[in-house]
Structure 1
């Protein structure tokens, strides 16, 4: 799918083009929302509001090639608004023992460890590694200096590395 072409079509009022764009990015939206909110119901609310707001304001997007980062920015703002409304702490979910293969278990363990990072570190890790955004894009998206993005990634990688090489007891120290 040619993203820029679909964005231009959506900006011209083609509902089908907008729907294609949202379907294309739906897994990205969920992954980011869940990283922030940790609750399926809140994720659904944030994504629904993001879709509505982006549909209503897509004509304001000046550069179609920035659609993804623009959409993510709207989502992050919605998630932050939900967190403020709910005034709740982000809970950390624990992995259940299961019959995963060694590689599947390792992948789940890493994802679980990422969930234990501080929210600002977790968001940067997800945007960088799972959404393939550049340091500059993350900096612009979160409205923080690029150096701050780098330091959060460095700190998160250090913590994850220690957790992966050490015992679970060390992990409790960071929570």
Structure 2
């Protein structure tokens, strides 16, 4: 973590290579977060590109280099949400979803892993689960990133865990697969 803060300081002084290295190090985790929000690769690429550009342009405004990762996650989440808002305004005729009951939709799955279950959660719950479990961020940082209280983060985690536990216990989605991806 200390090396990232040093690289951020170099980048803030105009070292483009340092910024590129930081972004390469964070790219897999950021992409995974974008994928959990947007679900489409082309949207993830757009969000990553916009977030990276915004971060680079406003790097000098970051006061504490040790919080670069948290700051970058917040920028990426904002970009993802903007893309989702823009996507809602545009409806492509061949993408209009057919009405399906949840039973018919979930009944078609033979196996489900934890990631699939998480992906089915409501966006607000999915983001909190992703940041807490996949990014290993503390509740305090998640609350800062999302602009909500620590209690709200805990409540969302509790609710998401309950939903996931119910899905597994009731077996609505079929057998769970615990095989490594």
Give me the TM-score of the superposition, normalised by structure 2. Answer: 0.82
**Structure 2 residue 87 is the aligned partner of structure 1 residue 50:** no
Q: Mapping of 1:108-123 within 5 angstroms?
A: 109-123=113-127
The counterpart of 2:145, out of the listed 141, 144, 163, is 141
Alignment RMSD: 2.3
Q: Residues 14 and 40 from structure 1, CA distance in 2 versus in 1: closer, same or farther, beyond 3 angstroms? A: same
CA distance in 1, matches of 2:28, 2:20: 14
CA distance in 1, matches of 2:56, 2:12: 9
- Partner-residue secondary structure (3-state), 1:148: helix
Q: Report what 2:134 is aligned to.
A: 130
Compute the displacement of 1:163 (Å): 1.1
Q: Report what 1:21 is aligned to.
A: 22
Give me the TM-score of the superposition, normalised by structure 1. Answer: 0.84
4+ aligned runs moved over 2 Å, structure 1:
93-97
Q: Report what 1:84 is aligned to.
A: 85
CA distance in 2, matches of 1:167, 1:81: 35
CA distance in 2, matches of 1:167, 1:128: 25
Q: Report what 2:101 is aligned to.
A: none
- Partner-residue secondary structure (3-state), 2:58: helix
Compute the displacement of 1:168 (Å): 1.3
CA distance in 1, matches of 2:84, 2:160: 22
* 5+ residue gaps, structure 2: 92-96, 98-104, 175-181
CA distance in 2, matches of 1:129, 1:36: 15
- Partner-residue secondary structure (3-state), 2:23: helix
More contact order relative to length (CA 8 Å, sep ≥ 6): 2
- Partner-residue secondary structure (3-state), 1:87: helix
Q: Residues 8 and 161 from structure 1, CA distance in 2 versus in 1: closer, same or farther, beyond 3 angstroms? A: same
Q: How many residue pairs end up in the alignment?
A: 159
Q: Report what 1:101 is aligned to.
A: none
CA distance in 2, matches of 1:80, 1:123: 11
* 5+ residue gaps, structure 1: 98-104, 171-175
Compute the displacement of 1:162 (Å): 1.4
**Structure 2 residue 161 is the aligned partner of structure 1 residue 157:** yes
Q: Report what 1:39 is aligned to.
A: 40
